Amino acid sequence: MTGRGRPRKAKSPEAHCVKSPPRETKQVKPLPKCPGKALVEEKKHDVKEEQKPKKREQKKPKHTDEKPPVSSTKTEEKSIKVKTGAGRGKSPEDFTEEIPKKREPKTPKAITEAPVPQDIIEKKVDGNKILSATLKELKIKTKERSEAASLINRTVKTIMDHLKCNTTCFKDVEDLRTGSYYERLKISNPDEFDVMLTIPIDRVDIKPFSDDGAFYSVALKRGKCCLDPFRKEDGTLPASEILKEFREEVKKSVKKSEDVEVEKKKKGCPAVTLLITDAKGGSVPISLDIVLSLKVKSSWPSFTKDGLQIERWLGTKVKQDYKWKPYYLVSKYEGNGMLESDGVLAKDVWRISFSHVEKGILNNHGSEKTCCEEGGARCCRKDCLKLLKHLLGLLKSEDPSFNKFCSYHAKTTLLHACCSRTKDTEWEASRLNHCFQLLLDNFEGHLRDRQLPNFFIPSQNLLSGPSSKSCTSLARRIKEERDKGFPIFKKR
């Protein structure tokens, strides 16, 4: 039984342990003989019972097995309704649910969803438009390509037939097509071709001529070789003498061709350059570089150990396949050719070449096998290289001080860029402007640092020849063109 005017809470043993907050006692006044009296008193009792677990949770957070009395279930349900309607205090569970929402950061969302300024959008669209239009102008017409290829094939066949039938030293030559045309990177006109005529040699001893690992002296080991007549006492093959004899034989082979002219030899150049004109009235003369090289069927030199870093881009298996291929040595030297090392002159050394691997990589350049193939997604790797080559060519025509820079610098920059941005999605054709800007960033960085490692021989710096001033000036001119939206492309 309950006494008159006494609330039921007196019977609860928990009432002696918990004080009701002053705020709650002020808001709820006892109303004797009122029908709603029991409900209000039940609310006060419920608040006290909810506050007690709150203290217990702070002291003993792991104690969660205690169950509420069965008799208080209906009372708690009523209490929740009263509190919700009155907008009063919430349970600890309610606070736990709402804290993450209140603390959720809004700044990153605002940054992500911020609208892109209209001028940036217009600049991007305009950039894509300019670059696409430039690429369209650089595309070679199918008819011109076919006619040029026909002339080249005819000339090369004439030379090889002569060497095989009329010489002893060059009778074993093989044909290897390399260069921009065969890499499908030729722009504007099909006016320059590179063809390597290779001589296979099996047993050789090569020694580095310089510290960068790009030049070597080559000595034949025991065994027969068509180049034996050139062998010196120490077994070395003098590049200058072999190239001189080769040049004379090429001149003989085209002597009867009225549309082929042999150009004057350039110092340090490994090629015999022929100028071919179309007897039918073709408008553009074709420059054909015939390069003599030695085909070495052995493991690559130790200087290449840290080169060809294509594992993340093309895969380890592809790299191993390339490493099993032979490498080539061409008759090229630097300087005046009279520098001597271990009894060998610079003009008699050979420079290592991996042009056949470059061709393979650029023609199969996707991290996915279907990249740029029929049914596959198209990338803009080659388009970016074509634009960089074109930009470099235009800047060289404006300023002769840039003549020491060549398309090989651009190609090497692209190969390094592909190894850092390995996925095809990073080179999507729709992102041409963005990708080209990144490639220019890479090229400018190499120029400013005056460091561009050979893709196959990292110890060789391809920018050691041009002066620091020239590198800085070229980087500045490229940046000017970028900032102004490539006005040099619009002049065409």
Per-residue pLDDT tens over the stretch 350-404: 999 999 999 999 999 999 989 998 888 999 999 999 999 999 999 999 999 999 9
More confident residue, 279 or 465: 465
Q: How high is the mean pLDDT of the chain?
A: 80
Query: For residue 12, is pLDDT > 60?
Result: no
Kindly state the tokens that stand for 83: 């509190």
Query: For residue 15, is pLDDT > 80?
Result: no
Q: Picking from 147-151, 276-280, 291-295, which range would have the lowest pLDDT averaged per residue?
A: 276-280
Q: Picking from 38-47, 372-381, 423-432, which range would have the lowest pLDDT averaged per residue?
A: 38-47
More confident residue, 393 or 70: 393
- Domains, the chain, in order of start with CATH, read 141-364 (3.30.460.90), 377-492 (1.10.1410.40)
Query: For residue 32, is pLDDT > 70?
Result: no
Q: Picking from 82-86, 129-133, 238-242, 408-412, which range would have the lowest pLDDT averaged per residue?
A: 82-86
How far apart are the C-alpha atoms of 90 and 82, rounded to whole Å? 11
> Which residues have CB under 8 Å from 287's CB, separation 6+?
191, 192, 193, 263, 273, 274, 275, 276
Residue 295 neighbours by CB distance under 10 Å: 19
Q: Average pLDDT, stretch 173-190?
A: 87
**Nearest alpha carbon to residue 168 among 223, 240, 221, 228:** 228
Percent of the chain with pLDDT strictly greater than 90: 53
How far apart are the C-alpha atoms of 462 and 452, rounded to whole Å? 5
DSSP state string for 4-45? TT--GGGG-GGGGT-PPPHHHHHH----TT-TTHHHHHHHHH
